[in-house]
Structures are given as structure tokens and as C-alpha cells.
Structure 1
Amino acid sequence: MVAHRACTREYTNSGLQYVMELSRKCTESVRHYGAETTSDVEIRTIICILGAIFSCSSLSLPVGLFLQREKSFSLIRAMHNTMEGISSDRPIHSREFRRRRALNWLTLGFTYAAMYMGRYNLSFANKALSDNYGWDKTQIGTIITAALTIYGLSALFNGPIADRIGGRKAMLIGVFGAVVFNLAFGLGAFLGFLGTGPVLLAYFATVWALNSYFQSYSALALIKVNSSWFHVRERGVFSAIFGSMIQSGRALIFVIGGIAVTFLPWQWVFFIPAAIMFTMGCLTFLFVCDSPEDAGYPGFDTADASSGDTEKVNMAYLVKKVFTNPITLTIAMSEFCTGFVRHGFEQWFPRYMQEAQHLKLDSPIFQGGAFIVVLAGIAGAFTAGMMSDYVFKSRRPPVAFIGYALQIVCLAVIWMAPGLMWIICAFVVNSLGISMVHSMLSGTASMDFGGRKAAASATGMFDGMQYIGGAAVGMGMGWMLQHWGWGVWGPSMIGFSFIGAILMLKLWNAVPAKRAQAH
């Protein structure tokens, strides 16, 4: 026992030395890429996170051992002081305003979650379609690629539309359109007279692409509406709410999808989300307002890129504010990388568990693991939001960088595939990392750098590039998996996470520029 403790202590010390050395190199990299003003709070935060990564991956070094170090207590004190300094910058709202805002974003958020169900349900029908129609992974990938490509292109074009017509109308267009095409996809099960060849495959690809067109309105609408309801100092926390809404949709489809494809015909994976989306669309019509003014409350300055800006919103304004801005273009490139990793993981992991790990979708291990993956996504969104607002002073790129770093570690574990429990742990932490990046960039940076006037356009560009990046995981990844097997799945995504991390280092200190001080 003594020898075992000595060995553990030696391993712990060497592990801590490794973490400290890694964090030192990380700090040097941050400063090298233009973050000369990085505070000790930020550096110590990175050190703690790297320590947590090491702790989880080793499964023998409790996070508490690392957090007991003197520097970590200094970090906690510094975070407390930072939070006190930042809280004074936040606007003070009445209780009535906060209640009305909560009704607004809860309705919108759960509508978006319902649409998420109607977007990712295909991943649960993936293998069922192959079994029913004899299609290989490349053919199934055709449907995925068609949908993600249309989503990406549509988001780019629909962003300016949402900025003109308002988020409420955009959400209503999106949700009811998604209802129609989820029903149409499920009804494809009754088109046996078309055979099982390219005609039926083209039908499914076309219908799912049209579903994606209407789905592309969802994030644009959500961000557009909330950009008028949240001050820039509140948006990190909002990103946590945004991320949690997404994860609730994932949770529902994980439960419903796994059960439906096991006990019901596969088309019910599309009929059930359609019914839920219809219900939430009706609630959106009844309760959502575009701005505080529309709900009878006074407006306020949100201190974002539209602050002090009196220009008229037209295409020239959007081009200048969003489509030629070096910061937004860099975020868009980063989101392209996010798309490959996010959709490469989310579109294929149920089939990976079925084929590579030989698990059924209704098995307790899969259901339990999927539930923890969802919880990790929620934790990632809240962690990112709190860190962004309270540690990094409402800067989003540092948090996104940490999310990318987590992805790299987890994808390396999936690549090595040391065992089922390691794989599940990697899935969980990878979900946390993806959620951190997605909630920070698509959910928050779009409001910051687009401002109230161009939030939907910024979201459209960021989300659009993400889905264009994700389009490659359809046919491209399907072909790769068909010919080389699941061993190439993890490593195929690592490079994109690395590029995304480098781009976030370049933007470490980026914040929205205001034209004039708010009065």
C-alpha cells in the first residue's frame, strides 16, 4: 500500500509538472499571437483547465489535488475580484422586464430546441435507411451533404432577410417550414413505388435539403431577437442559455430517436419532432416580441457594434459591418473548422456506436452515455458563458480557444480507441468543448460584432460557414468510412480543431468597437 501511494504521489507530481509546463507553453503561444495584455487571471484559468483535462484523461489524479495548489486559490480570488469589477458595468432591469424577457427567450429557446430535434433526427434514422433500402454510407452521406450545403448557403442569404423582417417573423417561417418537410421525409416511407434506387434517394435528399433551408432561419431569428434584449455584458450568460436550449433538443432526440427506431417504424423519428415543432411555433406566434419596445418596455443601449450607429440598415451597411470586417471573417473561418468537427461527430456517432462498438441505440450504455453527452453540452455552454463574462471581460475568443483545445484531446483519445469507457468519456468532454465554441461564436460573438442591426447577418455568416464546413462530413466522410473504416474517424477531425484554436489566438483580445459612448 505504501509503495502504491508513493507511486501515485510520484505520478501525480510528474503529472502536475507536465500540466504546468504545458500551460507555460500555452501562455507563451497566447502572447506570441498578439495577446500582450493577457492578465494573470486568464493565464491561471488556462492552467486550471489544462489541469482538469489532464486529471480526466489520467483517471488517477483528482481535479481537487490540482485545485489545492496555491496558484489555484489565487485564481479563485482573482476571479472574485474580476466579477465584482464587471458587475458594475451591467444594466439594471426591473423585475417586470426580466420576467417578460424570460418569457421571450424561453419560448424562442425551446422552439429552437424543437427545431434541433427536426434537424438531427436523421442521424438516428441513418442505419435504418441503409437497412431498409440497401444504401451504403456514401449514399446516406449524399443526403447529409445536400442538407448541410443548403443550410450553409441559406444562412448566408437569409441573415440579411432576418435583419430586415425581424427575428419573430423569421422564426415563424423557419419552424412551420421545418414541420412540413419533416412530415414529407417521413412520408417517403410510403413511396415504395419509386423503388430503392436513385429516384428515392434524390427525393430524400431534396426534402431534407428543403428542411435545412427553413432550419437555417432558426439561429438567425433567435440571435436577432435577443440582440435587442441583452446588453453585451449579459450575453456570455445568454450564450449559456442558448447552448442549453440546443442541448435540450439533443436530449429529446437522443431519447425519442433511440426508442422510436427500435420499437416503431423509422418514419416516426420525423413525425414526432414535427408535432413538437408545430406546438412551439404556435407559442412563438403568441408570446415572442422582437424588442423591448414591441413588448411595451423602454429600449436601452446594448453597447455592441451598433452602439451609437445611426446608419440605415441596407446591403452596403451589412457588407461593411459584417462581410468585409477582418474580425468577423476570421470568426467565419474558425466556424468552418467547427462545422467539420461538430457535424462529423454529431452526424456519425450513433452509427459509430452501433457498428464499431456494437451497441444498440436503446441499450442502457448508449442511453446513459448519450444523456451525459447532453449534460456535458449544457455544462460547456454555462462554463463558457460565465468564463467569458466574468474571467475574460466579455471577450469570446479565449473561451473558444479552450473549447478547441478540449476537442483536440478528445479526438486523439477516439483515434486511439483504448476501450469503450474511454470512448464514452472522450465523447462527453468533446461535447463540452464543441458546446463552448458554438455558444461563444455563433451564439454570442455574432451579437457582439454584428450588433443589434446586423446580428442576423453575422449569425448567418458564422452559422453558414459552419454548415458548409459540415457538408464535407456527408459524402466525404461517408466515402472515407466506407473504404477505410472507423479508425480514420477521429483523426480526420483533429486538424480542423487545431486550425480553429490558432485563429482564436489571433483574436484573443477582440471586442466590438462602439461609435459613440451610450447616453
Structure 2
Amino acid sequence: MLKAFATGPDLPLRTDIDVDSAYRRHRTSIIVAITAGYAISYMCRLAINVVKKPLIDGGIFTPEDLGNIGSALFYSYAAGKLINGFVSDHANARKFMAVGLILSALCNIVMGFSTTVTVAAVVWGLNGWFQSYGAPACVISLASWFSNKERGRYYGIWSTAHSIGEGLNFLVTASLVAALGWHWGFWGPGIATMVAGVATYFAMADRPRALGLPSVADWKNDHYAATEPEAVAATPPKGVFATQRTILLIPAMWVVAFSSALVYVTRYAINSWGVLYLQEARGYSLVEAGAMLTVNTIAGIIGAVAFGFISDKFFGARRPPANLLFGIVELIGLVLFFYGPTGPAWTALAMVLFGLGMTGLVTSVGGLFAVDICPKRVAGAALGMVGVFSYLGAAIQENVSGKLITAGMTTVNGVKHYDFSNVILFWIGASVASILLAATLWNTRLRD
């Protein structure tokens, strides 16, 4: 695998080209490719979330079955995030990204034919593994082509892909399902992601040094001086594998990882079960529920960009103050969503606040913060370490939520009724714990 995806060797610095022009061209192409490609591929990860009610009502799967199928993706994605994160530090990012998208697309197409729990769980688990190629490839590109003082802003731009993908899923996929049936909830995203995989291969690029360009830190003259004792002690030895091992010795990395796991509990609770909740507890139709959650994703686009800008400009690239600010906004939106007034306007307001806050937290503790405090040559491994905890949190959420929702479901005269009270407490509790944990890293600084 390492050989198949291997990055090119460092080449002698080129003197026959305009380095500034080459950098600008590659950076523009890369940020567009990773944002658009990752956004489209997100539909392949979330497709199952908009077909849950048709599958339950059709007697194909129970909520507990869907929780188990959904968790298969998250467990495999967690393992893949760790393993492929370490692999990606040795890989050509454009190859890694493109292959992952194409194979994930194939899994979704197969999923449209699956009607048994075992087959669906295996295929959806494979989908999670191939999905795990995408984020490390994107983060490697960000760490390679964008420097310390600007990375927050560009990471924020890329993080809008999460919300764009969620919005496309809740709006486009939901419309396909409503018009053509649940099968197209998988086939539509699969076809779109297949096209995106081919496009990203031609739009992305390997590391600057593999192209004969100076490193981005040298090009921008943007080196972070590691003057703190902790930072000096963590200065990595030579060699990628040896450098990767050093991230395990950074205490703040473990705190970020656990905080991210708790963030992902709430994040995927809304993504996975929000449509069902709005349909059953609030009486929305499938398309109306999808549209309401699209409000969340639109706000999330703003939240991702705002987090990067605010943390870079107002807090000197320090993430903890911004984490607390965005965490409070997210928690207010979550409480308003479940316990506030039930009118559409209030629900929309709740989704705006939740989307703004949650996407800011996902941008930070879900990746950016980890990249900040680790050596940049092993950004993929840093993301992998955080990612395995994040998606273990998401997977456990699927199992626990599925069981709690099933336990609260009753059938009267053939009509299913749901009690979401216990599972809501689980979701909100995870958010509170995450915010408190992230706040303990108030004085953590960047590393080069």
C-alpha cells in the first residue's frame, strides 16, 4: 500500500520557473479540489441517514438494525482514520484521495441493492474504510501548501465541505428518495462521488518538495519558534516513522482526541437521527426535515470559515478561546432545538446556532488543533490519532442511540410512537463534557 501510493522524493529546487506563480496556481486548484471533492463524497457517508424512515416503515430494518449498520461505518472509519492517517504521511495526496472516493462510490452503489442486515453492515463498513482516505489526504495538502499563520483560515474553508456535504445530503438525497425511492438515496451520491474522484485526481498535487518547490514555511518565511520547554522536548527526530511516534508523547493530543470523540457523539446524533426526530417528534415530512437540517449545514459553512478567521485574527492562531466561544453557541442551539418552542422559525434558529457552533468545534478539535500542536510533516498521523477517537465516539453513539430509541418506541394500532427523552440527555451530556475537556487546553501553543 505504501508503495502504491508513495509520494515522490524531494527534488532539487527548480530555478527554471516562477515559484510564486506555481505556488499560487497549485494552492488555488488544491483548495477548490479538496473542498468540493470532500463535500460531494460526504453524501456517500451520510446517505443512510435520510432513508431510515422508509427502511423502518418498509419493515426492512429496525432502528436497532440501522444503529448497528451505521456503527459499522464508524468503527471501520475510526480504524481507517488511524491507519490511513499514518499511511498518508508517506503518500501522494492526490492518488490517495481519488482512489478513496471512487471505492466509496462503488460501496454506495452496491448498498442500493442490499436488504439484509449482514450484507448492509459489511458493505457500509467497507464504505467507512474507503471514506477514511479522504480527510488525511486533504489535511496533508493543507499542511504542505499553507503555512502556520494562514492555516486556520484555509482549514476553515476546507471544513465547509462537511456542511456542504451534509446540506447536499439532506436536500438533494432526500429529494431523490422522496421522488424515486430509497435505492436512489445510495445510487445518486455514488454516481456523483465517482465523478468527483476522477476530477480531484487531476486537480490536486503532491507535496511542494516533490515538485521541486521550496516548503511552504520557507516560501512564506513562516516558521514557528518552538521556545517552550514542552515544545523543545517534543522536537522530532529525523524520519517520518520516528516523527509519527512522537505525537503519542504530547499530552495535549490525548485531550484533543477525547474532546473530539464527545463532539462527534452530538454531531452525528443530529446527522444520523435528526431527520427521524423531526419526522416523529415534530411532524415534519421527509423533505421538510431535510430542508430544516439544511439550515444547520448552511450555518455550518459560515461557522467553519468564521472559526478559522476568528482564531487566526483575534486570538493569534490560538484555538482554545475560540473553542469555548463556539462551544457555548453550539450548546445553546442544541438545548433550543430539543426544549425550545416547536414552531419552524424557532427550530430554524436552533439549527443556525447549532450549525455555527458545532462546525467550529469540528474544525478545531476534530483536526486543526491537532495539526497545530504536532510536527507538520506528520499531519496525517495527527489527524489519524484524533480521527480514531472521533469516530469511535460516533460509532458508540450509533449503538447507544439506536438502543435508546428502540427502547422508547411503542406501536399502537400499527402506528409507531417514539420517546426521545433519554437519548436527548445522552446527546446534550456529551456536548457539555466536550466543552469542559477542551477548555483545559487554554495555554496550549502551536508547533512547527
* Aligned residue type for 1:206: V
Equivalent of residue 182 in structure 1, options 89, 97, 108? 108
CA distance in 1, matches of 2:34, 2:352: 26
* Aligned residue type for 2:399: M
Matched ranges for 1:144-155 at <5 A: 144-155=70-81
Equivalent of residue 281 in structure 2, options 327, 335, 356? 356
1:201 partnered with 2:201: no
Q: 1:144 to 1:367 in 2, by over 3 A?
A: closer
Structure 1 residue 455: deviation in Å?
0.4
Equivalent of residue 347 in structure 2, options 423, 442, 451? 423
Q: Which residue of 2 aligns with 1:311?
A: 238
8 Å Cα contact 1:146-1:206 kept in structure 2: yes
1:116 partnered with 2:42: yes
Equivalent of residue 440 in structure 2, options 506, 511, 518? 506
* Aligned residue type for 1:147: L
* Aligned residue type for 1:303: H
Q: Which residue of 1 aligns with 2:362?
A: 438
Structure 1 runs of 4+ aligned residues shifted over 4 Å read: 304-310
Equivalent of residue 335 in structure 2, options 381, 398, 412? 412
1:468 partnered with 2:402: no
8 Å Cα contact 1:159-1:460 kept in structure 2: yes
Structure 1 residue 369: deviation in Å?
2.5
Structure 1 residue 264: deviation in Å?
0.4
CA distance in 2, matches of 1:381, 1:115: 18
- CA deviation string 1:407-446 (max 9, x = no partner): 2222222342431333332122111111000112234223
- CA deviation string 1:29-81 (max 9, x = no partner): xxxxxxxxxxxxxxxxxxxxxxxxxxxxxxxxxxxxxxxxxxxxxxxxxxxxx
Q: Which residue of 2 aligns with 1:236?
A: 152
SS at match of 2:442: coil
Matched ranges for 1:17-56 at <5 A: none
Q: Give me the TM-score of the superposition, normalised by structure 2.
A: 0.86
Structure 1 residue 129: deviation in Å?
1.4
Structure 1 residue 303: deviation in Å?
3.2
Instruction: Report the number of matched residues.
Output: 408
Structure 1 residue 512: deviation in Å?
2.3
Name stretches of at least 5 consecutive residues in structure 2 with no aligned partner: 1-18, 409-418
8 Å Cα contact 1:174-1:214 kept in structure 2: yes
Q: 1:97 to 1:513 in 2, by over 3 A?
A: closer
8 Å Cα contact 2:92-2:207 kept in structure 1: no
CA distance in 1, matches of 2:20, 2:243: 34
8 Å Cα contact 1:113-1:246 kept in structure 2: yes
Q: Which residue of 1 aligns with 2:382?
A: 458
Cα root mean square deviation, aligned: 2.1
CA distance in 1, matches of 2:155, 2:336: 28
CA distance in 1, matches of 2:286, 2:126: 28
Structure 1 residue 250: deviation in Å?
1.7
Structure 1 residue 213: deviation in Å?
0.5
Structure whose CA Rg is larger: 1
Q: 1:280 to 1:295 in 2, by over 3 A?
A: farther
8 Å Cα contact 1:107-1:287 kept in structure 2: yes
Q: 1:294 to 1:317 in 2, by over 3 A?
A: closer
8 Å Cα contact 1:339-1:465 kept in structure 2: no
- CA deviation string 1:232-273 (max 9, x = no partner): 110111122112222221221122122111110211111111
Matched ranges for 1:392-411 at <5 A: 392-411=315-334
Q: Which residue of 2 aligns with 1:83?
A: none
CA distance in 2, matches of 1:416, 1:373: 17
Q: Which residue of 2 aligns with 1:334?
A: 259
Q: 1:249 to 1:295 in 2, by over 3 A?
A: farther
Q: Which residue of 1 aligns with 2:134?
A: 218
CA distance in 2, matches of 1:361, 1:323: 44
Structure 1 residue 382: deviation in Å?
1.4
8 Å Cα contact 1:411-1:491 kept in structure 2: no
